[in-house]
Amino acid sequence: MKILIVGTGGVGGYFGGRLAQAGHEVTFIARGKHREAIEKHGLDVKSINGNFSVTNISVTDKISDVPRPDLIIVSVKAWQVKDIAQQLKPVIGKETMVLPLQNGVLASDELKEFLPQQNVLSGLCRIISKIDGPGKINHLAVDPTIVFGECDNSKTDRVYALEKVFNDSGFKGRVAKDIQSDIWKKFISICVSAWLAVTRSTYGEVREQPETRKVMRDLFEEVTELAYKKGVNIEPDFVDKTMAFIDTFPPESTSSLTRDVWEGKPSELEYQNGSVVKLADEIGLDVPINRFIYYSLILMEEKAKKK
């Protein structure tokens, strides 16, 4: 399969590396020293599931260099999706699948603003990983998984064929029964990332302190209520399951949004807690925890964008 990985960070680097290792024709989009290192030495992945390297792989900083791929995995930050969608339009073919793996609930809709609807899938991934240096990816926690499907939840031959490709490449792939439900479930769980940023704390620290743990749970309850109001199917015990899942994370772990805020970089704040606030305002739902966290970070986010 001819695959284009747009965004060779912790997500794109790991999953693209596994696909390349399995023998697929993978091209990575990367820039600067990261691109140079991959071009010269390949991609090194440190992983809790076993370290691996892939060499002699294709890397470029121009999407236009890769016409008509079979699959495009979009693994850039959520706020970059609209710009990427416009760059993808000239290279996709009739049969190209475009699979976004962004945090948040808007990526597929934003892609479809610029691309033919039949090309766009919906998806999410589960992994804690990051760039450890030029050409180096570090998978820190969580069993790597891609959950995906057609945007209308139809069960097509192409999604089942892609599921097999993923599972044959050393990570879990699963066609969702209800992809909107799965995307919202992940959305609920990741919105705590900004709370880590506000408290300048790790998952372990936030979950072990009773007061900050209560705020985390209240945050999840708010986003879950928003999902219910939006007609999304979420099981009644989902918040309990989410708390239990976070209790399994390595205590020193954080998230990409958290690290971006700490480092003064633009983050996905608008697509996480910012989206909660905006969607809640549209239906008149009160979300005070998410609003406080969003407002607490918005000035830092604006300053980061101006750098």
Q: What is the CATH number of the domain that holds 80?
A: 3.40.50.720
Nearest to 102 by CA among 124, 127, 130, 131: 124
Same domain for 159 and 298, yes or no, is no
Nearest to 188 by CA among 250, 256, 235, 122: 235
Q: Where are the alpha helices (DSSP H) in 43-139?
A: 81-88, 107-112
Amino acid at 88: L
This prediction's pTM: 0.86
Query: Is residue 253 classed as helix, strand or coil in its secondary structure?
Result: coil
Q: How far is the C-alpha of 131 from the C-alpha of 119, rounded, in Å? A: 29
Q: Tell me which of 177, 193, 213 is where a domain ends.
A: 177
Same domain for 9 and 158, yes or no, is yes
Look up residue 235 and give its two tokens. Answer: 């099981």
pLDDT reading at 32 higher than 90: yes
Same domain for 164 and 192, yes or no, is no
Q: Tell me which of 153, 177, 201 is where a domain ends.
A: 177
* Cβ 24 vs Cβ 3: under 8 Å: yes
Same domain for 226 and 302, yes or no, is yes
Same domain for 155 and 268, yes or no, is no
Model confidence band, residue 306 (pLDDT cutoffs 50, 70, 90): confident
Quick: pLDDT tens for 269-299: 999 999 999 999 999 999 999 999 999 999 9
Span 166-183, average pLDDT: 96
Same domain for 12 and 160, yes or no, is yes
What is the pLDDT, as a whole number, of residue 106? 87
Model confidence band, residue 222 (pLDDT cutoffs 50, 70, 90): very high
Same domain for 40 and 140, yes or no, is yes
Quick: pLDDT tens for 85-126: 999 999 999 999 999 999 888 899 999 999 999 999 999 999
What is the pLDDT, as a whole number, of residue 266? 92
Range of the domain at 118: 2-177
Model confidence band, residue 247 (pLDDT cutoffs 50, 70, 90): very high
Model confidence band, residue 228 (pLDDT cutoffs 50, 70, 90): very high
pLDDT reading at 73 higher than 90: yes
Q: What is the dihedral of CA 163, 83, 227, 124, to 10 degrees?
A: 20
Count of domains observed in the chain: 2
Same domain for 6 and 106, yes or no, is yes
Same domain for 32 and 138, yes or no, is yes
Provide the CATH number for the domain around residue 290. 1.10.1040.10
Span 68-75, average pLDDT: 96
Q: What percent of the chain has pLDDT over 70?
A: 100
Same domain for 60 and 164, yes or no, is yes
Same domain for 172 and 190, yes or no, is no
Same domain for 137 and 45, yes or no, is yes
Q: Tell me which of 161, 177, 193 is where a domain ends.
A: 177
